[in-house]
């Protein structure tokens, strides 16, 4: 042992940043929803330009750090109104997401496979304007281990109900995996009738984790009577500790 410190590898974080910067360039920031907010590194740096940010984090320690970071970095005039929710993101989706108006950025910076959660989002929400979606996807890791993989996670219509035995599949190449993910989005778009504008991604070194982004928007071919009604704007309300809370309001 030399005691020499290993250099910190910021490669993954840079990829995440670059991907989101590119996504943000394609929209006019309005309301962001960060479903895996963690300590809020991404949201406090990159989502400052939004009017509102909704941040969901279930881990109590991370949630405390998230709140401290928001209080430190997102106070003052011109900063977004941030609502934080210490809860499981599936509960947030079920109980709150549909009531939030003007969402045009969704962030899924997950540790594992976020596709079942993405499918759950579209059960209750649909884009009303051009929307950017940022995804960290480690779903290829079980495939690389040739482990048991629930391929139903990539079929948006069946993910929620799929309880059958996962399949054992050979490890997929990175290219094959990208096709699987793109197929997921195509099926989702068809099922929920939105338009998929672009899909772009970058692999982390080792090609195990895929960072990708998509822009979607309402399908212009849909007649208005087919659209679900637009929710009314929901202003974040103050909450006590342990409940969904918020950073101090804007001046």
Ligand X SMILES: C[S@@+](CC[C@H](N)C(=O)[O-])C[C@H]1O[C@@H](n2cnc3c(N)ncnc32)[C@H](O)[C@@H]1O
Nearer to ligand X, 81 or 209 (CB): 209
Task: Give the other-Cβ count within 10 Å of 15's Cβ.
Answer: 18
Query: Which two three-digit tokens encode residue 134?
Result: 């940022």
Q: Which residues, 115 to 144, sit near ligand X by CB under 6 A?
A: none
Which range binds ligand X by CB under 6 A, 20-28, 33-41, 120-128, 144-152? 33-41
Nearer to ligand X, 128 or 140 (CB): 140
39 belongs to the binding site for ligand X (CB under 6 A) = yes
- Smallest distance, Å, CB 121 to ligand X? 13
Selected binder of ligand X within 41, 130, 191, 250 (CB under 6 A): 41
Nearer to ligand X, 109 or 178 (CB): 109
Phi and psi at 195, nearest 5°, equal -100, 135
Query: Which two three-digit tokens encode residue 154?
Result: 């990539």
Q: Which residues, 53 to 72, sit near ligand X by CB under 6 A?
A: 56-59, 62
Instruction: Supply the DSSP string of 223-247, one letter for each residue.
Output: -GGGSPPPPPP-------TTS-EEP
Nearer to ligand X, 19 or 42 (CB): 42
Nearer to ligand X, 111 or 200 (CB): 111
Nearer to ligand X, 189 or 209 (CB): 209
CA atoms within 13 A on the CB side of 114: 25
Cβ burial 40-56 (10 Å sphere, 16+ → b, else e): bbbbbebbeebebbbbb
Site size toward ligand X, by CB under 6 A: 16
Question: Residues with Cβ < 8 Å from 194, sequence gap 6 or more?
Answer: 126, 127, 216, 217, 218, 219
- Smallest distance, Å, CB 43 to ligand X? 7
14 belongs to the binding site for ligand X (CB under 6 A) = no
88 belongs to the binding site for ligand X (CB under 6 A) = yes
Q: Which residues, 201 to 230, sit near ligand X by CB under 6 A?
A: none
- CA nearest neighbour of 166 among 176, 154, 175: 154
Nearer to ligand X, 71 or 179 (CB): 71
DSSP state of 152: G
Selected binder of ligand X within 15, 31, 40, 137 (CB under 6 A): 40
- Smallest distance, Å, CB 222 to ligand X? 31
111 belongs to the binding site for ligand X (CB under 6 A) = yes
Per 3-state DSSP, the chain is made up of helix, strand and coil in percentages (nearest 5) of 35, 20, 45
Dist CA 142 CA 122 (whole Å): 25
CA-to-CA dists, residue 203 to 140, 147, 174, 200, angstroms: 11, 20, 8, 10
Interface residue list for ligand X (CB under 6 A)? 36-42, 56-59, 62, 88-89, 109, 111
């Amino acid at each position: 042992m030399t005691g020499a410190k290993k250099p910190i590898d910021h490669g993954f974080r840079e990829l995440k940043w670059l991907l989101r910067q590119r996504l943000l360039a394609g929209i006019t920031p309005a309301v962001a929803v960060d479903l895996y907010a963690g300590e809020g590194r991404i949201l406090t740096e990159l989502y400052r330009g939004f009017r509102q940010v909704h941040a969901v984090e279930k881990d109590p320690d991370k949630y405390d750090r998230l709140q401290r970071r928001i209080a430190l970095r997102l106070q003052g005039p011109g900063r977004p109104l941030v609502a934080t929710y210490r809860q499981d993101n599936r509960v947030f989706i079920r109980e709150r997401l549909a009531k939030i108006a003007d969402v045009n950025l969704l962030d899924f910076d997950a540790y594992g496979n976020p596709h079942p959660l993405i499918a759950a989002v579209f059960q209750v929400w649909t884009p009303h304007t051009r929307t950017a979606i940022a995804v960290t996807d480690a779903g290829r890791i079980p495939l690389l281990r040739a482990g048991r993989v629930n391929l139903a996670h990539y079929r948006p219509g069946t993910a929620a109900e799929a309880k059958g035995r996962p399949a054992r599949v050979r490890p997929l190449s990175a290219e094959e995996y990208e096709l699987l993910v793109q197929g997921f989005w195509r099926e989702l778009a068809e099922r929920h009738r939105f338009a998929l504008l672009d899909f772009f991604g970058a692999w982390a070194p080792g090609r195990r984790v895929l960072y990708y982004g998509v822009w979607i928007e309402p399908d212009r071919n849909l007649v208005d009577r087919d659209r679900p009604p637009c929710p009314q704007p929901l202003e974040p309300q103050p909450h006590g500790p342990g409940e969904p809370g918020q950073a101090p309001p804007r001046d």
